[in-house]
Amino acid sequence: MYRFYVEKSEIREGEIRLTGEDNNHIRNVLRMQPGQEITVCDGEGTDYLCRLKELGREQVTAEPLSKKPSQTELPVRLILYQGLPKKDKLELIIQKAVELGASEIVPVVTKRTIVRLEDERKEARKRERWQSIARSAAMQSMRGILPQVSPVLAFSEALREAAGLDGAVIPYECAEGIENTRRIISGLQEKRPRSVGIFIGPEGGFEEEEIAQAEQAGVRPVTLGRRILRTETAGLAMLSILMLAFEEDGSVG
């Protein structure tokens, strides 16, 4: 069944409105007709089974038949603090991170970051593009929320933000062996956290000073094995590990 996202303000008693790209997609791409059913999500964890009523030029209206909590979310918020990579790698990272269950992607500037978004207008355009990719990935993977791509942060700012989480890890090639990583992941499982942060460096990785800063902030270094992973691979590997650790029975994946 086709799935769409709307703002809560578009959900009213007995009617849900879909406008913009969703309106065009329903009418002109899918060529749906009144009476057909769709799923509409409020982006905050609630799904509505709806029947299409009217397909107008400006908006599509649908009648909600039932609602229920979304069944595709992890019981923990996973926040990916991603060192800004070169070129368009972040687009792939955002797409796959959303598919793997990330609730938020935070681009981060570290000491070895090459890319710099010093122009506010350029960053705003980038974020608009990144958020569009996150939305499409959420639709494809039937997410119950719309993961957000946050403004770019400096590494120190990201550490301060992550201090409010229930746990955080930072893959690092010089971290202790895989058994220590297993213990850390197991400890997180037992803690049943509501939020976990993942810090990933850019192409050049983290400097030792940054790892020390992260540890002082309570972020746990972990290893992803003996192989050195690219920045666009490391975060996805860590998300996959945590997805397996926290996924509950009954998921649709």
pLDDT digits (tens, 9 = 90+) for 75-111: 999 999 999 999 899 999 999 999 999 999 999 999 9
Residue-level pLDDT at 251? 46
Q: What is the 3-state secondary structure (H, E, C) of the chain?
A: CCEEECCHHHEECCEEEEEHHHHHHHHHHCCCCCCCEEEEECCECEEEEEEEEEECCCEEEEEEEEEEECCCCCCCEEEEEEECCCCCHHHHHHHHHHHCCCCEEEEEECCCCCCCCCCHHHHHHHHHHHHHHHHHHHHHCCCCECCEECCCEEHHHHHHHHCCCCCEEEECCCCCCHHHHHHHHHHHHHHCCCEEEEEECCCCCCCHHHHHHHHHCCCEEECCCCCCCCHHHHHHHHHHHHHHHHCCCCCCC
Residue-level pLDDT at 250? 62
Token digits for 83? 């060192």
In angstroms, the CA 66 to CA 50 distance is 7
Average pLDDT, rounded, for the chain: 92
| pLDDT class of 249 with cuts at 50, 70, 90 | confident
Residue 253: inside a domain: no
Residue with tokens 């790892």: 211
Pair (100, 64) in one structural domain: no
Residue 251: inside a domain: no
Torsion of CA 250, 149, 152, 185, to 10 degrees: 0
Pair (111, 47) in one structural domain: no
pLDDT at 252 over 70: no
Pair (53, 140) in one structural domain: no
Has this prediction a pTM greater than 0.85? yes
The mean pLDDT of 3-15, rounded to a whole number, is 88
Last residue of a domain, one of 69, 85, 110: 69
**Overall number of domains in the chain:** 2
Across 20-24, 108-112, 166-170, the highest mean pLDDT is recorded for 166-170
The CATH number covering residue 19 comes to 2.40.240.20
The mean pLDDT of 30-49, rounded to a whole number, is 94
The CATH number covering residue 160 comes to 3.40.1280.10
Q: Which domain holds residue 165?
A: 77-246
Strand-pairing partners, residue 63, are: 51
Pair (49, 109) in one structural domain: no
